[in-house]
Amino acid sequence: MIDIQDLHKQFIAQTGGSLFKRSAKRVVHAVQGVTVAAGDGRITGLLGANGAGKTTTLRMLAGLFPPDAGHITVDGIVVGSAGPVTGRPEPAQPPRGVGGAQRRTGGTLQALARMGILGDAHGLYPRLSARENIVYYGRLQGMQPDAANTRAEELARLLELKPLLDRRAEGFSQGERMKTALARALVHDPANIVLDEPTNGLDVLATRALREALRWLRSPEGGSKCIIVSTHIMQEVEQLCDEVVVVSHGRSVARGSVPELLAQAGETRFEDAFVKLAFPQEVAA
């Protein structure tokens, strides 16, 4: 289970400036109160327009930087803490190290070990085969070589990767890269799966294959995984998600199943419901 409570994050952006004029600083409120409760055996969608704060929220979930306020737990482990929850969560650690990267605490590492994360950049090693990419990440998760290779074979069957398994990743199509990156994220059989815009650039067949794989992973046979999918595509949410959190301008503004959101908005088309819930001022105007 993943529990995200009232997250906030702001950044300082440089604007303008020239050779003779110092650039001005502007505060960007990327996330201003996002709450998500994603249960086991369910697919929870984060639905929002580009720039709504979805990716920033997932990057905080991945421990890439701490929230300014709010907290995140993964199976009871506070991201940014020293270990499992024993009471009130400790404040997130301040940024440290080269480039201001957050020092990942014991709790964050424990939480990451319980997640499989597919970010917006798949980042495969092009000179390695699909199998080598998957096994390498298994080894990073502490798996023995034989176990990692067996798991790669299992995931190849699930994701229809068998013809690609021993091909080098350079030259893979977008769909082939996505499947390999997803197998890599699942190699250690995590209880929680986090996907950021997974269908971007995929054709119809690749999208359908991904959808079926996620449905199986949600099922008891697939391990009753807790799955979070970030997307801006209405059709994906309607066909895949058990619950949807609508994110707009850095805030979670509505949550529920697709029928519940339709009822909240008083609409029969999900696109109309989303626009009314996410942008009420624009609709009123």
CA atoms of 174 and 202, how far apart (whole Å): 6
Provide the CATH topology of domain 1-14+25-61+190-285: Rossmann fold (3.40.50)
Instruction: Please compute Rg for the chain using Cα positions.
Output: 20
AA identity, residue 262: L
Greater model confidence, 168 or 86: 168
Within the chain, where are the H helices? 54-61, 106-113, 130-140, 145-158, 174-186, 204-218, 234-240, 258-265, 270-278, 280-284
CA atoms of 280 and 230, how far apart (whole Å): 21
Could you tell me the pLDDT band of residue 87, with boundaries at 50, 70 and 90?
very low
Across residues 25-29, what is the average pLDDT?
86
- The candidate with the shortest Cα–Cα distance to 138, out of 120, 153, 123, 121, is 153
**Residue ranges of the domains in the chain?**
1-14+25-61+190-285, 127-185
For the chain, the average pLDDT equals 87
Could you tell me the pLDDT band of residue 202, with boundaries at 50, 70 and 90?
confident
Contact yes or no for 118/182 (Cβ under 8 A): yes
Q: How many residues does the chain have?
A: 285
The pTM of this model reads: 0.85
